[in-house]
């Protein structure tokens, strides 16, 4: 687009000074000036003269200009602009087009500042046009504007990433920005799963997998092949606009998207590989500006993923036992509150079991506390394996655990669960090549029979557990009223 500025007419006395200037002096200036100059017949628009610099600027010969109309020399084919321009000149106006596109002979477009002034030469009116190439300046301005916009987006994105609540949100925000600024059709973003060791992609551009005709994305990322695998394996950015000629694309897997151009950046924090941002099929050739932006976004992504993982660890430590990974008392209480509300609404029962490993101190004294920790972790894993997903297992502290059973928790069901726990506990463990046998004692209470306050239910189950120990251990007992005074009954 161009911008037109109209200013008042040039005083006639100034025009006369120009007309009466010595011919030789004017010719020298005309030939030597370092901007293009055209002299037009104001009535017909034909070019009467052109200086060498303008000939060089557009790549024509002088003969290509002389006798031609102004709109025949490459005003981007915009005849309307040229004729309107000439019409205004004929009205003795002084015009400035601050940004006018002009086409070179080779088809390349230039952005020029176009200044024209009409004056009389005898009985004829001529127009002098001074044309200055501002293409370089315009590109710098555009680059600065784009850079400022990108800096703004990166700054806003950084604040959003810190406040994001999930890795999915983080991934979608970064991918959307990367695709928008690089004008890419396809893209995905992924992080390295610390437990599995391969990349997981929470966010992909719409249609990525539909277009690739691949049904199982997990298989792709597990194999770590193709161009995106090259980026991960080498921890280097990859930019190519000729993928068919790029040796790094030799391992591209079948049925993937036909790639016209490709840009991918590893998400790194120092030497640590966190993930990757990959883009394909932009509507323009990728360049270093695109790669620089995506590298900044990938760094933000890596920082955000690490921050999220740290937050996850903090949340997990706040609600889980650090040794066994089981829920701690805080999380257990929250779950009990929800379970109690549901039990009241649907008239369900809740079973509470307190378990204590018999003679656990002997294990610590004989094999050491590290071996004792192994036993505790194995014991918690065993409990999880025999219970339902709706049940909750908590480590209360030391070698004491709690099980909360929901739904079908009649006396018979609690007895069955207790028997399964006792049988599983009796299986020998291997510690330092030694076979170790353990047993456990279990106490049971339930809602609503024994109350609804969790502290009361835990207290009653704990009393029943100690009575089980007093009867020889490796046993389970249900709390009954008065058991505090050593009145108890055995489940049968």
pLDDT at 454: 95
Q: Residue 265 is inside which H or E element, if any?
A: strand 262-269
How many CB atoms are closer than 10 A to CB 392? 18
Annotation: CATH topology of 329-485: Alpha-Beta Plaits (3.30.70)
pLDDT at 229: 82
pLDDT at 15: 46
Residues 151-164: b if buried by 16+ CB within 10 A, e if exposed: eebbeebeebbeeb
pLDDT at 79: 53
pLDDT at 165: 66
Write out the residue limits of the CATH 3.30.70.270 domain(s) in the chain: 329-485
**139-317 classified as CATH 3.30.300.30:** no
Residue 8 to residues 5, 40, 88, 95, 474, Cα–Cα distance (Å) = 10, 21, 12, 9, 107
Residue 224 to residues 144, 199, 234, 252, 299, Cα–Cα distance (Å) = 38, 8, 12, 11, 21
Which CATH homologous superfamily contains domain 4-133?
PAS domain (3.30.450.20)
Write out the residue limits of the CATH 3.30.450.20 domain(s) in the chain: 4-133
- pLDDT < 50 stretches in the chain: 1-2, 7, 10, 14-15, 17-19, 76, 216-220, 253-255, 487-492
**Could you report the per-residue pLDDT of 95-113, keeping only the tens digit for each?**
787 788 888 888 888 888 8
| Pairing relationship of beta strands 434-436 and 94-103 according to DSSP bridges | unpaired
E strands, 66-223, are 94-103, 109-121, 124-133, 184-192, 199-204
Cβ contacts of 71 within 8 Å, gap of 6 or more = 45, 78, 79, 81, 82, 83
């Amino acid at each position: 687009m161009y911008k037109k500025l109209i200013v008042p007419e040039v005083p006639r006395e100034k025009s006369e000074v120009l007309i009466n200037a010595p011919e030789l002096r004017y010719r020298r200036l005309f030939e030597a000036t370092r901007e293009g100059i055209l002299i037009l017949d104001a009535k017909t628009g034909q070019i009467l003269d052109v200086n060498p610099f303008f000939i060089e600027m557009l790549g024509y010969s002088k003969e290509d200009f002389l006798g031609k109309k102004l709109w025949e020399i490459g005003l981007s084919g915009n005849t309307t602009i040229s004729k309107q321009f000439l019409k205004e000149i004929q009205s003795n106006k002084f015009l400035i087009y601050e940004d006018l596109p002009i086409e070179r002979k080779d088809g390349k477009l230039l952005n020029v500042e176009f200044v024209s002034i009409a004056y009389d030469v005898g009985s004829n009116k001529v127009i002098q046009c001074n044309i200055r190439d501002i293409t370089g300046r315009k590109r710098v301005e555009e680059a600065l504007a784009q850079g400022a916009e990108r800096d703004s987006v990166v700054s806003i994105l950084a604040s959003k990433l810190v406040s994001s609540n999930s890795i999915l949100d983080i991934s979608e925000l970064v991918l959307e920005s990367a695709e928008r600024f690089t004008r890419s059709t396809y893209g995905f973003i992924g992080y390295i799963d610390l437990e599995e060791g391969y990349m997981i992609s929470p966010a992909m551009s719409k249609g990525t997998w539909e277009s690739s005709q691949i049904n199982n994305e997990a298989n792709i990322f597990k194999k770590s092949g193709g161009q995106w695998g090259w980026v991960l394996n080498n921890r280097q950015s990859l930019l190519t606009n000729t993928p068919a000629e790029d040796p790094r694309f030799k391992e591209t897997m079948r049925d993937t998207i036909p790639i016209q151009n490709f840009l991918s950046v590893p998400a790194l924090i120092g030497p640590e590989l966190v993930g990757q941002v990959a883009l394909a099929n932009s509507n323009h050739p990728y360049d270093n500006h695109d790669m620089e932006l995506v590298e900044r976004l990938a760094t933000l992504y890596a920082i955000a993923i690490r921050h999220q993982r740290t937050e996850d660890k903090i949340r997990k430590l706040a609600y889980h036992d650090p040794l066994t990974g089981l829920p701690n008392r805080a999380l257990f209480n929250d779950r009990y509150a929800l379970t109690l509300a549901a039990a009241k609404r649907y008239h369900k029962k809740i079973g509470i079991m307190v378990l204590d490993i018999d003679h656990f101190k002997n294990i610590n004294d004989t094999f050491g506390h590290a071996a004792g920790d192994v036993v505790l972790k194995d014991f918690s894993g065993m409990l999880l394996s025999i219970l339902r997903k709706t049940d909750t297992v908590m480590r209360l502290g030391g070698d004491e655990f709690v099980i909360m059973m929901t739904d079908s928790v009649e006396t018979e069901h609690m007895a069955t669960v207790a028997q399964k726990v006792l049988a599983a506990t009796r299986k020998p463990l291997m510690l330092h090549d030694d076979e170790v046998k353990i047993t456990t004692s279990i106490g049971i209470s339930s809602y609503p029979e024994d109350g609804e306050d969790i502290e009361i239910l835990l207290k009653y189950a704990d009393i029943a557990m100690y009575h089980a120990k007093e009867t020889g251990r490796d046993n389970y007992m249900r709390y009954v009223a008065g058991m505090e005074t050593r009145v108890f009954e055995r489940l049968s």
